[in-house]
Amino acid sequence: MAEKNIKEPVYLGLIGFPAFHSLSPRMHKKALKLLNISGEYLAFEIPPERFEKAVEGAKNLGFRGLNITLPFKERAYKMSDEVGSDEVKFIGSANTLLFENGKIKCFNTDVFGFEKALEKKGYQIEGKKIAVIGAGGASRAVVFSSLKNKAKKITIFNRTKSKAEKIAEDMQTLSSKTEIEIKELKEIDIDEFDIVVNATSLGWKDENLLDIFQKVKINKNKKEKKLFFDTIYRKTPFLKEGEKLGYDTEDGKWMLVLQGAKSFEIWLGIYPPDEEMLKEIENM
Ligand code: ATR
């Protein structure tokens, strides 16, 4: 896949609904520029009834690939001709499509984004106890990554318990060494975990995360190193609470950049300068 000299202009883009607020065009355009590749990365806001047609349209226009965001990631997976790598099958949704020889190949680079973001923060997953709040697409990527990287235990907390159970059922075959447990949010005991991840869609508005922090049992004397990680790229109420409790916190900006950098590598065979991409969106 690696290409040393990309001479033709490269067309890339993002499809979502909404999509115009996305930071992806900025960081991908920056990467193209830094690597001296001529091309474009455009965001398309497509109404749900036209999603598949829009993807086919991009393919027929000669686009190299697309990022796919809410609410289309599952449909992107379903309409693909080929699975690009293992994680997509377990997660059941794709955020990256590659058009190759007239075929649509799908990938999920959120997994890379999550694990690499933790690594950049100086945390490793192996041997850790991880709490994952939420059971949607983002949660599936986090659970997959935690299993792949040999977490000791993963506890999934979700409003709708059946969705958490389905994740455990779908993914437990990946590793028998990691225990997957489902609990009610009100049972959360922060002290039990090394890494607590907010993978719900809550956080854009100032909703407090289910008021869980009014219910959690926190042993004030036991302040070990702990990370509160949010998949959303702003300082959410969840992260503010983590900070108040004196823990390390990390928002989803690095995860966003790193999933994008990995998509870029899938499309062009070159891993782009991720630090520069982060700088480009940092003050937005
Ligand atoms: P994503 O792909 O970003 O993960 P999603 O698939 O829509 O988005 O999942 C959203 C997650 O946020 C789900 O876990 C959802 O809980 P349910 O499975 O019970 O729907 C959670 N979520 C969204 N709004 C919520 C709310 N007001 N209270 C609790 N959980 C919420």
**Which pLDDT belongs to residue 188?**
83
CA atoms within 13 A on the CB side of 17: 11
Q: Which residues of the chain have pLDDT under 50?
A: 1-2, 210
Q: Give the C-alpha distances (Å, rounded to integers) separating 10 from 2, 61, 79, 108.
A: 14, 11, 23, 21
202 lines ligand 1 (CB under 6 A): yes
Peptide bond into 71 cis (omega under 30): yes
Sign of CA dihedral 77, 80, 86, 89: positive
How far is CA 211 from its chain centroid?
24
| Helical ranges in the chain per DSSP H | 24-34, 51-61, 73-79, 86-91, 110-120, 137-148, 161-171, 212-215, 237-244, 253-268, 274-282
- What was the pLDDT predicted at 20? 92
Q: How far is the CA of 140 from the centre of ligand 1 (A)?
A: 12
Q: Residue 92 is which amino acid?
A: G
Looking at residue 205, what is its pLDDT? 60
Q: How far apart are the CA of 7 and the centre of ligand 1, in A?
A: 43
Q: Does 208 contact ligand 1 (Cβ within 6 A)?
A: no
Task: Give catalytic residue positions.
Answer: 73
Residue whose CA is at the smallest distance from ligand 1 atom 12 = 200
Q: How far is the centre of ligand 1, averaged over its atoms, from the C-alpha of 191 (Å)? A: 24
Residues 6+ apart with CB under 8 A from 257: 27, 113, 274, 277, 278, 281
Q: In angstroms, what is the span from residue 217 Cα to ligand 1's centroid?
A: 23
Instruction: Report the pLDDT value the prediction gives residue 252, as an integer from 0 to 100.
Output: 96
The atom of ligand 1 lying closest to the CA of 137 is: 2
Give the atom of ligand 1 at the shortest distance from the alpha carbon of 139: 4
Question: 33 is written with which tokens?
Answer: 């520029």
Mutate to test the pocket of ligand 1, among 166, 201, 215 (most ligand atoms within 8 A of CB): 201
| Ligand 1 centroid distance, CA of 139 (Å) | 9
Ligand 1 atom with minimal separation from the 133 CA: 14
Running DSSP on this structure, what letter comes out for residue 126?
Answer: T
Ligand 1 center to 218 CA (angstroms): 25
Whether 95 is in the pocket of ligand 1, judged by its Cβ within 6 Å, is no
Is 139 close to ligand 1, i.e. is its CB under 6 Å away? yes
Q: Is the CB of 161 under 6 A from ligand 1?
A: no
Residue nearest to ligand 1 atom 26, measured at CA: 202
